Amino acid sequence: MKKSLLALILGSSVALAACGGGNDAAKDTEEAVDEVEQNTEEAVDEATPKEDAGDATTAAAGEEVYKQSCISCHGENLEGGFGPALDKVGAKYSKDEILDIIHNGKGQMPANVVEGENAEAVASWLAEKK
């Protein structure tokens, strides 16, 4: 009887211990999102198009924002990975539709990974990919 009770208590302890630490993943995700936001803000400072800048500057800014915030899921050459390929996304979606996906998320992509002028720049850059 004592052995059964001891086995039951030990088994329950192991099961409960295995269930603990669930907040670590949420905390890691939160930290990753914060890091992406910080990198995005830095990319804005480096690559934000100036008012007198042309389309080339906007494209360069969009590409820089992509490299800072999107490459980990969509691939270095827009080939996809965790997220879908974006190499011909402009043939499927307009700039406004891409911007809507950036703002609201789609599928596994979270909303607002990129915001403000960065979102505009990357949406313009991606809309050119046909």
Domain ranges of the chain: 54-128
Binding residue per annotation — 74?
yes
Question: pLDDT averaged over the chain?
Answer: 79
Whether pLDDT at 12 is above 70: no
Whether pLDDT at 16 is above 60: no
**pTM exceeding the 0.75 threshold for the entire prediction:** no
Binding residue per annotation — 103?
no
| Contacts for 46 with CB less than 8 Å, ≥ 6 apart | 64
pLDDT tens digits, one per residue of 71-92:
999 999 999 998 999 999 999 9
Binding residue per annotation — 73?
yes
Question: Could you tell me if 48 and 61 are in contact, meaning their C-beta atoms sit under 8 angstroms apart?
Answer: yes
pLDDT tens digits, one per residue of 24-64:
555 566 776 677 567 656 665 665 555 545 566 777 899 99
CATH code, 54-128: 1.10.760.10
